[in-house]
Homo-oligomer: A and B are copies of this chain.
C-alpha cells in the first residue's frame, strides 16, 4: 500500500486532468481496471462534466522579478481549476485571490473552484507578512480544454449479480490521507477478494470526487438496481479512531454488520448518521432516486485535512492494515450470511442428533442453543441471530450449518 501512495501523492490529480489519468494507469498495473470515460459537456442528471484542466507554470513575483510563490514548490500553490492570468495587480487585489488557512499558518491550504470561474493561489498564512510591496506580477499558464472524466472500475464476479460497491476518490493533488489511503486499502482488499469464491459481485471504483460518481452512475443506470450496498473508504491512515457513518437508510444489514464488527474488533470508534461525520460520494450513491445504502468508513477528523500537512508523515502502514482487516471482516460476514428456515417442528432432540454443545466446550453457544433454535423461522439471517444474541457470528454460522447438513434447516 505504501508504494502506491508514495508514487502518486505529489501528482497533479485534478478532477479531469492528465495527472488523474496517469494515476488510474498506475493502479491498473496492480489490478485490471476498466476505464469509463465521460466527455466534457456531457449532461449527468442535473450536472455537466467540466473541462479538462492543466497548468504549466504559475508564480507571483514582485516587480523586481523576485518570486514570492512558485507552483514548482508544491502542487497546492495553485487553486485547482484556476483561470489563467498574466497581469500586474495591486497587493489589495492580489490578496482577494490568495487562500490561506489561519489555523495552520505554516501549511498551504487546498482550494478549488470547479464551477465558478476565478483565479487564485494558495499560500501559508505566515507568508502573508512577506508581501510588503504595492504591486505584484501574477502569472498562471493554465488551460481549459475538452477532455474526458475517467473512472476506474475493477469488478470481481461472484455467485450472484447482486453487487457491493467499494469507492474511493483519487483526485486531491499533493495530499495523502485524503484519499490515497482509501485508494490503497481498496486496491489491497480487491487483491484479497480476487483470491476467494464470493457470493456477491464486488465492484471497486476509483473516482474524481462527487462528479465522478455522478458521471459513472448516470451513464450506467442499468447497474444501479444490482448494487445492494456500498462502502466509501477515505482517510484511513491518520492517528484517530475509526468513524462509521451510517447509510441514509441507517439500519440496513450493512450498517448493522459494520457496527457489529467495529464493536467487537475495536476498542473504540465513532458512529454517526448519514452526512453527519464526513460528506463525500455517498450523496451520489445513496442520493435521491439512486438509494444504494452506502456507509462510509474513515478516521475523520484530523487537523491536517485539506492542507499540505496531509502528507506521508501523518499516516502509518499499521493503521492501514487495521482498516483493511476491519473491512474484510465486514465483507466476510455479509458474504457468508444467509436466511435459514427450519424444516423441523417442536424443539430439536439435540442430544439425539449429536448437536448438544457442552458449556465446558463453548459456554456462549451452550447458553444460546435453544434461542438459536427458536429463531429459524425464515425472518432472520444468521447475522441477525448472532447480533440479537450477542454472539460470535462464526459460532452461529457453524452451528446452523450443522443443522443444514442434517436437513433440519434449509
Contacts and interface: CB of A to CB of B under 8 A. Distances in A.
A351 B115 contact: yes
Interface stretch (A14-22, A45-53, A118-126): A45-53
A269 to B, nearest CB: 25
A296 to B, nearest CB: 15
A184 to B, nearest CB: 27
Given A214-B346, A346-B218, A374-B248, A352 B46 contact: yes
Nearest to A375: B288
Given A116-B351, A214-B347, A217-B346, A46 B287 contact: no
A45 B408 CA distance: 11
A395 to B, nearest CB: 20
Interface residues on A, range: 35 or more
A48 B348 CA distance: 11
A55 interface: no
A346 B281 CA distance: 10
Interface string A29-69: 00000000000000011111000000000000000000000
A344 B45 contact: yes
A115 B275 CA distance: 58
A370 interface: yes
* Residue among A346, A352, A408 with max Cβ neighbours from chain B (10 Å): A346
Contacts of A346: 44-47, 214, 217-218, 283-284, 287-290
A353 interface: yes
A315 interface: no
B353 A46 contact: yes
A284 B287 CA distance: 46
B287 A347 contact: yes
A203 interface: no
Interface in A230-279: 248, 275
Contact of A218 (B46, B290, B345, B377): B345
Which of A214, A374, A377: most chain B CB closer than 10 A? A374
Contacts of A351: 115-116
A373 interface: yes
Contacts of A408: 46
Interface in A374-397: 374, 376-377
21 contacts: A45-B344, A45-B346, A45-B349, A46-B346, A46-B347, A46-B352, A46-B408, A47-B352, A115-B352, A283-B370, A287-B345, A287-B346, A287-B347, A287-B374, A288-B344, A288-B346, A288-B374, A288-B377, A289-B342, A289-B346, A290-B346
- 7 closest residue pairs by CB, A with B: A289-B345, A47-B349, A46-B349, A45-B346, A283-B347, A45-B345, A287-B346
